[in-house]
Amino acid sequence: MLEFFGVDLLDLWHGRLSLRRIGVLVDSLMNKPGRSSLLMAMDERAQWAESDYLLARVSDALELSNYLFLKANVPEEDVTHLELPPPIPRPGEPEPQPAPEPGFSDAGELMSFFGRLNSA
């Protein structure tokens, strides 16, 4: 509290600070942008900054793009050796499940899709 607000918690014992004021200051700390030790202790997702999450998302997209490029341009016998890249694990989130393997639609799905387009 001293770092952000200039308020010493010892003032509570000296009678110069109320519990209500401490509650207001803690609530204010929780809503401050950026990271703090208090927020990281209460929510694991605060361990990363917003830029870290954006970099992880860009990295996952790039890995997927490279995978799809290779899958389209590698000989058929080598495609079976390619594995979908796992996403980067993020703090506070459950272990990511691998995305389903992309595939082609069958004729019935295509007819249904184009039929809905024509009826609209």
pTM > 0.85: yes or no: no
**DSSP secondary structure string, the chain?**
-HHHH---TTHHHHTSS-HHHHHHHHHHHHTSSS--HHHHHH-GGGGS-HHHHHHHHHHHHHHHHHHHHHHHHS-HHHHTT--PPPPPP-TTSPPPPPPPPP----HHHHHHHHHHHHH-
State the pLDDT confidence band at 4, using cuts at 50, 70 and 90.
Answer: confident
35-58: pLDDT as tens digits: 667 777 777 777 888 889 999 999
